[in-house]
Amino acid sequence: MWVSRRRPPSNEGGGVSVELAEMHDEALEGALRRATRYLDQLDPELPRRTRAELIARSILVVFDSYYTRSREIPSAYQRLFETRNWPETFKLSLERLTIYSRYLNAVIPLIHERWPRSIPDERGFWVEIEAAYLDYIHGRYEADLAFAFLRTTRRVVRQGEWAPVAYHAGRQADGPDFEHGNDVTSTFPASGAVSAGAMAHVLTLPGFNASFRDLHADAALLADRVNAELEQREAIVDSPCALEFIDAGFFRNRGAYLAGRIWYKRREGTGEHEEPRDQIGSHQREFLPVVIALLNDKNGIYPDALITQSDEIHRIFSSALANFHVTQYAYHQLARFLHELMPKRPLGMHYSTIGFNHVGKVAVMREMLGEHNRTQEPLDFAVGSRGTVAIGFSMPSSRYVLKVIRDTPAEGYKWDAFDGPEAVLQKYGLVHDMDRAGSMLDNVMYSNVRLERSWFAPELLQEFAQAAPGSVKILHRYVLFKHLIVQMKLVPLPVFLENADAEAGKRAIEELGICIQNNAAANIFNKDLDARNYGVSRIGKIYLFDYDAVEPLSGVKVRTNVGRFDGEEDIPDWFFETGTIFLSEEMLVGLRIDDPVLRRYFREANAELMSIDYWEGMQRAHSKGFVPKVRSYLPERSLSKQLARAKD
């Protein structure tokens, strides 16, 4: 099924993101005017503290404008969902991705312009700027995000190190307590079973300004499905706060999602279950994670799917998909709640899922520091084959893999030309800024970051010195990275297949086909189809994680040798063409799957991927502005057929 990106002839909500963009430009210009007024007051004769305060205020007014605008975007996105204005959602998502950089890039030239004549060229002056800034943001919820904005400004202006520190910069007991207050959930009672009334309350939590298709019937069906799930768990639900749901909508593409959990106890004598447990006094409670997927058509808003398995929820809330727009400001509580629903996913990645990538960067670095402090494991080469373009390294039990781009490719590099580390980093950056269709890992990208030298295995340090001296500087106490890429750790596909049983191996082959198809849907083609560039996550999903060979599918020349007979001596015409040539029938040669049974199964399970018609059809679709629909949950979770039966 094809979905058009083109604007329909008319739409009642057409002006929402256009108006927001215009307001954004006005807000940015206003913030810059206010910042300029502060900077115009700078005078070398003023006391140092006064000059530091003026600079701090100039940066803060720009941040405040950014933060205000960024918090308006989720509500605007909800209005687009309510009015079914799908084309404008693409523009709004792009606005969300770029707004931080736009404000940051606007304030830095102002600082640069006044730096030579008004600011002493010494590092200590930034300490005074930070001290003033910290006084201004003290007690604010978004203080850590505000401080990250200041630190990024400092790094770019001064070309210094990226230092992942808390906003309080050593004032450990002097900031807001994120563990209490700022509750992001609403609770509803249940006695014996979840009622349709309780589910109706859940469905209306976002406060939609649009009608439901049939609220009471849909709520009743959801209650039936939820109670059936609870019955399978031998659950007893009886509490004034049994249902706990985030009191906001999660919006992405054409859908909206509600996320929560249902607390229960097991009947006596029942066994353990895989879902998380919570110890409260002498009683143990468990919860059923619940995500409800909502759609909106001409008949109104309705629930399309119910997902109650943590691993399947993980797929929906993956940062390999576009960021969610959440109409709830308390991002720390949101990330923590999502982490409790999906504990297999690192906490830092949950921040990225809801669009707080810069807070996520700090969280990821803190997690890695915590991992090292707990385990004292060294950073060493990552499991799997050594990369020819990137050096991958990790701690054995860490949930992350780190990467450095080599100055020049290692032996075994497959392509004629290497455009340098900056070109590779640009590809990683482009992947980070796009909707990865659920099948390409997100990248947490750092600049000028340092780590303790004692963390690293000697052989890894030697590899840095020999292969990446332009990107890594090894100092007496620290290792300084000009660029550092961090990804969620996967098991390389060949390693997974070596240790998998027959059923798991076949499932991985099916997932590999889905991964390649999803990337094609995003107009992404990986010309290095080697299975070593793909990995298996903790929930069994396969992702592409190496991007140095990624390019637009629309520019690939799809050719075939099908129809040529054995022994034919003429050289095919495509042999003389330039650019990327792809012969779909030879996919298995590139994938390098050693097991003959799995190679045969790939042909059976992914036959269309090996046909020229599939790839040419994809290219035609992209050329016309259409893209295939990519679903983030399994078709069997859909409630549509059950809703139809309930109405008959």
* Residue numbers annotated as active site: 442
Beta bridge partners of 446: 484
Element (H, E) at 80: helix 48-83
Strand partners, 381: 393
- Reference 490, options 540, 526, 429, 530; nearest CA is 540
Contact predicate 528/424, CB 8 Å: no
Angle subtended at Cα 376 by Cα 399 and Cα 365, rounded to the nearest 5 degrees: 45
Of 567, 356, 394, whose CA–CA distance to 484 is shortest?
Answer: 394
Instruction: For residue 67, give the nearest of 121, 93, 36, 104 by alpha carbon.
Output: 104
In a 3-state reduction of DSSP, which class is residue 406? coil
Residue 431 structure tokens: 């992947």
Q: Return d(Cα 167, Cα 142) in angstroms, integer.
A: 10
Task: Quote the crossing angle between the two packed helices 215-232 and 196-203, to the nearest 10°.
Answer: 120
Alpha-carbon distance of 607 to 617, in angstroms, equals 15
Q: How far is CA 378 from its chain centroid?
A: 27
Is residue 613 within a helix (H) or strand (E), and if so which, with residue range?
helix 612-623
Q: Which of 184, 181, 298 is nearest to 250 (CA)?
A: 184
Measured between alpha carbons, how far is 428 from 547 in angstroms, rounded to an integer? 6
Alpha-carbon distance 364 to 352, whole Å?
Answer: 10
- Token pair of 525 as six digits: 């083609």
The residue type at 411 = E
Among 623, 625, 461, 458, which Cα is nearest to 553's? 623
User: CA torsion sign, 275 to 280 to 284 to 285?
Assistant: negative
Mark out the alpha helices in 342-432 (DSSP H runs): 347-353, 357-375, 421-432
Please classify residue 564 by burial: count the beta carbons closer than 10 Å to its beta carbon, then call 0-12 exposed, 13-18 middle and 19+ buried: exposed
What token pair was written down for 367?
A: 């997690």
**Do the strands 534-536 and 491-492 form a parallel or antiparallel pair, or are they unpaired?**
antiparallel
Alpha-carbon distance of 260 to 245, in angstroms, equals 4
Distance, in Å, from the CA atom of 393 to the CA atom of 375, rounded to the nearest integer, reads 16
Beta strands in 411-541 (DSSP E): 444-452, 472-474, 478-488, 491-492, 524-526, 534-536
Looking up tokens 């309080």, which residue turns up? 168
Residues 6+ apart with CB under 8 A from 351: 331, 335, 357, 359, 360, 363
